[in-house]
Amino acid sequence: MKKRHSGLIVFDLDGTLIDSLDDIADAANKALSQANMPQHLTAAYRYFVGDGLPALIQRIVPAHTSEQDQKQVAALFKTLYQQNWNRKTDLYPGIRTLIDWLDKSGVRLSILSNKPDSFTRLCVKEFFPDQPFELVFGQRQNVPLKPHPQAALGIIRTMGVSPQSSLFVGDTAVDMKTGKAAGMKSVGVTWGFRQEDELLKAGADIIISKPEELKRYVH
C-alpha cells in the first residue's frame, strides 16, 4: 500500500500500546469475588473492555444486578486495580522502539483511551517516562467516550493539525469508528484484544500485525 503522510498519530492505550489484560481481569475478578458474584476467564475480558468502566462492570456482573451493586463492584475494582495495575502489564514487543522512532522522526503523538483518565495517565507515566505524547486523555467527566469523535477532534484542534493528515491507531471496532468519525485514517492492530475481521468490519483503512509496520505510513 502507498505510503501516507501523518502529521499526528493518536494511539489507543490498552491492547494497542500496553498489554494490560491480566491485571484488569485479576482486579475485576477479585472485585466480583468480594461482591459474591461469579468470576470470568481472563480471555473473556478481551471483549468486556474497550467501552469504559461502566460498560465493563455491566458486562461482568450477573444480569439484573442493581445499579447500586454495580457501583459497589466498580468501586471495588478501582481500589483493587489501583493496587495491582502494573503487576503483569507491560508494553507490547516492538512498541518502545516504534514510539522512540516516531518521536525522533518528528511525528506528533497523542493518546486517547476509554480507560479512566487517572489510570490512563498513570500507565503512560510508568511506561513512557520520557513523555513523547503531547496530549494524554482517558475517560473524563462530561466528555463522550469513544467512538464519539469529540475527544479525538479536540486533540486535533488543540494540536493544530488536520484530520486528513492524522492516524488513529487502535485494536477494537471502537477505535476504528472513532478515527472514521473524526475524519482520520483508522489503523487496526492485530496484536491486541480483538480480531482482524472486527477491525475491517468497523472500517479500518489499514491493518498492521507488527508495530514496526506503522512506519510505512509515516514520512
Residue numbers annotated as active site: 12
| Gap between the Cα atoms of 152 and 100, Å rounded | 23
Asked if residue 167 lies in contact with residue 187, where contact means CB atoms within 8 angstroms, the answer is yes
| Gap between the Cα atoms of 211 and 209, Å rounded | 7
| Gap between the Cα atoms of 151 and 110, Å rounded | 11
Give the contacts of 132 (CB within 8 A, at least 6 positions apart): 99, 100, 102, 103, 109
Instruction: Output the CA–CA distances (angstroms, integers) from residue 138 to 9, 52, 116, in the order listed.
Output: 16, 9, 5
The DSSP secondary-structure symbol of 134 reads S
Amino acid at 4: R
